Chains A and B, each alone.
Chain A
Amino acid sequence: MSETILKMEAARLVLEGNAGPLEILRGVTLSVARGESLGLVGPSGSGKSSLLMLMGGLERATSGRVEALGQDLTAMDEDQLARFRRGNMGIVFQSFHLIPTMTALENVAIPLELAGKRDAFGRAAAELEAMGLGARMDHYPAQLSGGEQQRVALARAAAPRPAIFLADEPTGNLDGATGEAIMELLFGLRDRHGATLILVTHAPELAARCDRVVRLLDGRIAGEELARKVAE
């Protein structure tokens, strides 16, 4: 049995909406092994992204327990969570979320700087080179195409060599070919660094590349299967 890197027990998430409290996650229990790739699938509004946010400590569970690398995320305050993410988690979003006032290089260097790494910019540059963006380092996000922006975001997530990659529909805003290239890079990163990958996606073929797939429905786990079956 391989080591568990991420564990959730009866995790619930209730958000206050205009129409009153809205239960997004209704008691999710789940564990992910080190090095595993897990696909989260399900219809819109089923709670996939929220589950990912709980795993990344970006959202706080209303009740239940979320544990990553042996640490209880639900017991941490916001700053402790921020420090925990440094070097441990690399997160990629559908909308890239690059900081518009920073160049590509600066965007990639931030997590390294925050983690106090010495050669933050050297490493950031190497990461961008590896993504094929050597010529775009001094460009601002607005000067990059969508695919380029997502590659910068990937480089930013990968730069601190995190143990866990969280990716929220990373190809959702990209065309097919660009999306394919991004997925190659993402799985390549995961393979190279032996990291755990948790991927939220709508695309069955992407989910099929994962070791395991969890299907969510209405805030609950509706089923769990091996990836091959999803593809079929």
Chain B
Amino acid sequence: MTLALAARIARREMRGGLGGFTVFLLCLMLGVAAIAAVGTVRSAIEVAIRDQGAVLLGGDAEMSFTYRYASEAERAFMERRAERVAEVVDFRSMAVAGEGETAERALTQVKGVDDAYPLTGRLVLDPDMPPAEALADVDGVPGAVLDPVLADRLGLAVGDRFRLGLKEFRVAARLLREPDGATSGFTFGPRSIVRSEALAGSGLLEPGSLFDTHYRLLLPAGSDLDALKREAEAAFRDTGLRWRDARRGAPGMQRFVERMGSFLVLVGLAGLAVGGVGIGAAVTSYLEGRVETMAALKALGAESRMIFAVYLVQIGMLAGIGIALGLALGAALPVLAGPLIAARLPIPVEIVVAWRPLAEAGVYGALAAALFALWPLARTREVKAAALFRDLGPGRRQWPGWRLGLVLAAIAGLLVAVATSLSGVPTLALWTLGGVATALVVLALAAFALSRIARRMGKRARGRPALRLALSAIGGPREEARAVVLSLGLGLSVLAAVGQIDANLRGAIAEDLPEVAPSYFFVDIQPDQIEGFRARLADDRAVTRVEAAPMLRGVVTEINGRDAREVAGDHWVVRGDRGLTYAAVPPEGTKVVAGAWWPEDYAGPPQMSFAREEAAEMGLRLGDRVTVNVLGRDIEAGITSFREVDFGTGGIGFVMSMNPAALAGAPHSWIATVYADPTAEAAILRDLASAYPNITAIRVRDVVDRVSEALAAIARATAIAAGVTLLTGVVVLIGAAAAGERARIFEAAVLKTLGATRGLVLRSFALRSALMGAAAGLVAVGFGAGAGWAVMVFVMEGAFRFEPVSAVAIVFGGALATLAAGLLFALRPLAARPAQVLRARD
């Protein structure tokens, strides 16, 4: 009954239109739209990955090995179960075009394929032709298809020739789309594809070379992937076999999309929190204008509960409209921008409206609206009928009573629960929401402090009317300062945090690393080449340092006889295969921190020196036994020492080093790092690559560029999401400025009456806005620096350096945005005639 009557009264109340609710609706709409849009794109990519699992993977299932081809038994296993099997060998190499001094070299990720490739999907080539035709021999020269980036870097056109190792190839076509390309993950060089058979005699796939083999299986319809996986893993346990199947065809990419999507949704939540400030302010301002109605209702016998219900219904209906608008916008934008977004993705994605991300965004919107609107709504209960004949207002802002407090806490708890469970990254979600809540509290305190400081400073500014008027307004009883600092401050805080983290990451990669990092990594140096390799560099005065070490790869399978994953959990050392080296004496610079290195001529049971930090993380102690599977052979070694290994310098670092006898006979190659003067880099590469065509050189600067590019893309996506937050902040800011316009018109009229010129009034308004904006910016920079520090130190485990440029930009941006909004709404106050304004108030 109460609710029905309340709804009736609410409907009548809303006849006045939604004019006063623009900010409310915009805030809710923007926040919900951002989350819905991110969710829609993420869902489309996830659907694409799931539906095209087999295409992305290159088959229904895949068995991969590092360093070796499948054994007879493994091949027999695959052929027995699959309708067709395709073999792919994947490795890094140098592609060389031209001869002698003018030869061009570029790093490439080579894929050697057989006739069955691709089992699924289609290779798109320019000019268009079947893969068999492209890779076939012409005049005894095998064909190759190259990523256009690689072809352009080497200046190669279709029909030109180039070399991989010792073998010559012909460019048959440019590679436009590689169906299984997205699963390769992060690669250092652009792709080239040749026939595996054509690699014979190239000198590239020698024993000990670094390569992976992938066997793609096309299975009979209705095959039980789970059963097959269990069977394969049982049969070939501890051989380094890696299993993947179409259910998660691109796990790396899927994980990235999930993480990135969740992260952007969380940034969107920050935007919704900014919108929440606007929602709260809009509701407060609306209700203040309704005090007379409320008082009249009370005078006519309405209870507090009824009045609360009337306005709850109104705000609820408006929230529904705002959320619906947000969902419509959030669903429409990605669909409209679909072709643009899809063009930037590595896999074909069709962006369509999906209900789940929309439902998620709707829930977030409803919870945020409730959280921020309920408090001001609850104050309607305090309105007294006496407000009819005395200007009482809806009462001073007070802390909510225990009942409302409980409700608010429950809503906040629900929001946290939803975010942590839906985002898939609960820890990050908790940190983000905690960060937003902290930021809101800090900003509210900052606004309070600003107000107090302004009041105090106002006394010192006596005699400077423009400044004093500005300070009085900031320090006065109206809550403009709080609205501005909260709304703009939160948006700027997110932007400041993104700016600080981005600048720090870029700085760490682009500046810090190259100071200590080598010029080149060389891999795949055969044991019989290492002496010649060293000799070439020994006489070169431009070379400051050369480090070389033998390298094998192995999988840590057991620790003290137990499954390694059971002991060390999901530690990166036990995930997949790791580099492994051997040495008779500790290499130069080795710091053994516990135990002792084996004697130089030691030939007893295998011994191992383990990296100290990783050992501590995995809970290893001296005397523990670690089993490593190297090329199918299990080697169990006792840990006899721990040593410091710094992976941050870019030099050679191995978690595990063994005594030479332990690895005797295992095929391996050497890796080397060369520290040289940049001007000599080209000559070193030319000489070494000419003498040893099988060796692959990786220029560290190129790797840094690749990583920086990847980071820049992530930073761009984040900045866009943060931009929405800021946009919401600006809407709230404009709302606050608009809400304050009436008051400013009145102030300007009184000031003019008392003898203030328009210039003085304008100066005072401008100062007021700029001061509040700058204060919001300052708090944002402080908060951004705090968040940046936390991320750099705890997540990235690096050092934090305060980045002043983005900080100054944030403070200036804050001041300018507020100034612009303030001045926009200063025009009417300045133009208004005092007599009209004051008469209207009498």
Binding site for B on A (CB under 8 A): 49-50, 53, 56, 58-60, 78-79, 82-87, 91, 93-95, 97-102, 106, 109-111, 113-116, 118, 120-121, 140, 142, 156, 168, 172
Contacts and interface: CB of A to CB of B under 8 A. Distances in A.
B17 interface: no
B476 A78 contact: no
A1 to B, nearest CB: 31
Interface of B is mostly: helix
Nearest to A114: B755
Contact of B478 (A79, A97, A101, A111): A101
Contacts, number: 103
A198 to B, nearest CB: 15
A172 B458 CA distance: 33
Of the listed residues B391, B475, B755, B759, the one surrounded by the most CB atoms of chain A closer than 10 A to its CB is B755
B356 interface: no
B833 A82 contact: no
B743 interface: yes
B401 interface: no
B105 interface: no
7 contacts: A53-B839, A82-B757, A86-B755, A87-B755, A97-B841, A111-B754, A116-B463
A93 B749 CA distance: 13
A111 B472 contact: no
Interface of B: 391, 393, 458, 462-465, 468-469, 472-473, 475-478, 743, 746-747, 749-760, 833-836, 838-839, 841-842
A24 B567 CA distance: 94
Contact of B838 (A86, A97, A115, A116): A97
Contacts of A78: 752, 758
Contacts of A86: 754-755
Contacts of A120: 462-463
A97 B476 contact: no
A49 B838 CA distance: 11
A120 B751 CA distance: 16
A83 B755 contact: yes
Nearest to B469: A110
A102 to B, nearest CB: 5
User: Nearest 9 pairs between A and B by C-beta?
Assistant: A101-B476, A86-B755, A59-B835, A58-B835, A53-B835, A79-B757, A111-B754, A113-B465, A85-B755
A111 B296 CA distance: 39
B431 to A, nearest CB: 39
A58 to B, nearest CB: 4
A142 B391 CA distance: 9
Contacts of A91: 753
A79 B830 CA distance: 11
A49 B840 CA distance: 12
A100 B478 contact: yes
Nearest to A116: B463
Contact of A114 (B747, B754, B834, B841): B754
Nearest to B392: A142
A113 B747 contact: no
A71 to B, nearest CB: 14
A99 B753 CA distance: 12
A121 B462 CA distance: 8
B754 A85 contact: yes
Contacts of A93: 838, 842
A73 to B, nearest CB: 13
B757 A83 contact: yes
Contacts of B758: 78-79, 82
B765 to A, nearest CB: 12
A118 B836 CA distance: 32
A142 B477 CA distance: 9
A59 B472 contact: no
Interface centre among B472, B478, B835 (most CB of A within 10 A): B835
Given A97-B749, A101-B743, 20 more contacts: A56-B753, A58-B752, A59-B835, A79-B757, A84-B755, A85-B753, A85-B755, A86-B755, A94-B842, A95-B842, A99-B750, A100-B743, A101-B473, A102-B472, A110-B469, A110-B751, A114-B751, A120-B462, A121-B462, A140-B476
Contacts of A100: 476-478, 743
A84 B756 CA distance: 10
Contacts of B749: 97
A109 B751 CA distance: 12
B391 to A, nearest CB: 8
A162 to B, nearest CB: 10
Contact of B463 (A49, A50, A118, A172): A118
A43 to B, nearest CB: 16
Nearest to A56: B753
A87 B758 CA distance: 18
A79 B759 contact: yes
A84 B755 CA distance: 7
Contacts of A99: 472, 747, 750-751
Contacts of B838: 58, 93, 95, 97
Contacts of B469: 110
Contacts of A113: 462-465, 468
A82 B393 CA distance: 33
A160 to B, nearest CB: 8
Nearest to A157: B754
B412 to A, nearest CB: 32
Contacts of A121: 462
Contacts of A116: 463
A49 B839 CA distance: 8
Nearest to A106: B472
Nearest to B761: A82
Given A78-B758, A97-B838, A101-B472, A58 B833 contact: yes
A60 B836 CA distance: 11
Contacts of A142: 391, 393, 477
A142 B465 CA distance: 22
